[in-house]
Amino acid sequence: MINVILCGGNGTRLWPVSRKMYPKQFNKLIGDKTLFQETVYRNRKYCQDTIVVSNEEQYFLCLDQLRELHMTNCSFILEPVGRNTAPAIVLACLDLDPGELVFVTPSDHVITDTLEYAEVIAKAQELAEKNYIVTFGIVPNYPETGFGYIESNGTNVVSFTEKPNELKALEYIEKGNYLWNSGMFLFKAGVIIEELRNNAPDIYDESKKALLNSYGDGHQKIRLEDMLKIPANSIDYAVMEKSKRIKVVAASIGWSDLGSFESLYEKLPKDDNNNAVSTKNHINIDSKDNLLLVKNKTVVTIDVEDLIIVDTNDALLISKKGNSQKVKEAVTKLENEMSDLVNVHQNAFRPWGSYTVLEEMDRFKLKRIVVKPGKRLSLQKHYHRNEHWIVVSGTARITIEDQEMIVRTNESTYIPMGKMHRLENPGKIDLILIEVQVGEYLGEDDIVRLDDDYKRNEMGASQ
């Protein structure tokens, strides 16, 4: 069996923890593994191979997190833009043996009952071997309005229902034969391809063309022009609501999609006052039932309850519990303002290492840059800024136009605006340097890549 992991979501409902370039599945929200790592780790006992369908910008982030798990049997399909779950699934299945069992899972779910999880997978496998497409329906324990529902009769699917209002959700719970739609599926590769070809031939045809034109070394990267020709649609609309070969397995597996800070609060350990707190430096005075996601700060709460407080280096979210879904409205406003707060943290990860924005004001920006041993940044230039580099630790090999130099600890250099340059770590330890940017415009999209080891040709990704 092959695990296809859908890894393309942005997780904006968990902003400011989750950003487009570092969404929730790559964060360690619960425990010492990220949600993506937990998904890979959880399913490797059932699946011999893993296919990750991801946005191309997150490829190297996925690789780094897989290396932490010592996972080597993973392949990738990289999308330049998302077109929803139906194209993602068909792209992963087109080249597989038609009889291969495929277990499709999102990358950002929490599952705590591993024994029950094993049992429902076994039930789904039996049905999939009989050429059914199996979906996993979560047994609901409250009237959630944020999920789709599956009306069931045993393993038979009666209907799929959109997200209901509160009264309708309560009605579903009282009836007892409605399940939450989890977004997990199990089927034979040939079965899903046949059903998609019959029910959504345009998606099948364009996906097949796109996969044939894909390229890459160790991954299949879809060309942008081909991806845009694929109609965007979910697997639910494209296949599940039309096919006559659908079965459902009811699952009580301690499942959550962590679609809100309230659902995250439910999964985190609590103190004696029912507070879920991420920092040890919490002084509590008569406060209860709060979620506090704070790092590197002492937090004092006095006479407050039912609050969500999320603090990052560059943003602070405060909400009443029960209302955090409105964070999407805040994200929309930030997008309208063209704010980078939607896209990246002050601490951003790149295939060569990472950078942290230490301070930013009009006409200058201060960064801490870490380059891994043997890695180098793209050969690049900027039109609107000058850069000063000061080596704090390690050794830097720096190229400016046709001049190459070695810069060691406590030494520095200057890169004038418009000059072609490159930074490299030739050593065996991390290279750490401070970068001072000075100029009229300091946006992360002021970059022209002339050569890149990681074949990133899009503009807008720093360094």
Q: pLDDT tens digits, residue range 352-403? A: 999 998 988 889 999 999 999 999 999 999 999 999 999 999 999 999 999 9
* pLDDT at position 463 over 70: no
- Per mean pLDDT, which range of 42-46, 277-281, 302-306 is the poorest? 277-281
DSSP β-bridge partners for residue 77? 53, 220
pLDDT of residue 66: 93
Q: What value, to the nearest 5°, has the Cα angle with vertex 407 and ends 404 and 413?
A: 80
**Torsion sign over Cα 183, 189, 195, 199:** positive
pLDDT of residue 36: 96
Angle between helices 189-199 and 201-212 (to 10 degrees): 120
pLDDT of residue 459: 35
Distance of alpha carbon 11 from alpha carbon 310, whole angstroms: 15
Looking at residue 70, what DSSP letter applies?
Answer: T
Residues of the chain with CATH 2.60.120.10: 346-451
Average pLDDT, whole number, for the chain? 93
- DSSP H helices, 95-200, are 114-129, 166-175, 189-199
Architecture category of domain 346-451 in CATH: Sandwich (2.60)
Distance of alpha carbon 212 from alpha carbon 229, whole angstroms: 14
End-to-end Cα distance, the chain? 39
Residue-wise burial string across 233-242, b where 16 or more C-beta atoms lie within 10 A, e elsewhere: bbbbebbbee
Would you give the distance in Å from CA 379 to the centre of its chain? 28
Architecture category of domain 2-256 in CATH: Alpha-Beta Complex (3.90)
Provide mean pLDDT across the span 256-267: 93
Distance of alpha carbon 20 from alpha carbon 234, whole angstroms: 20
Distance of alpha carbon 407 from alpha carbon 384, whole angstroms: 24
Distance of alpha carbon 404 from alpha carbon 396, whole angstroms: 10
Residues of the chain with CATH 3.90.550.10: 2-256
> pTM (2 decimals)?
0.85
DSSP letters for 433-452: EEEEEEES---TT--EEEE-
pLDDT of residue 461: 45
pLDDT of residue 443: 83
Provide mean pLDDT across the span 90-116: 96
pLDDT of residue 146: 86
CA within 13 Å, CB half, 193:
19
Distances in whole angstroms, Cα of residue 355 to Cα of each of 435, 443, 455, 461: 10, 14, 19, 12
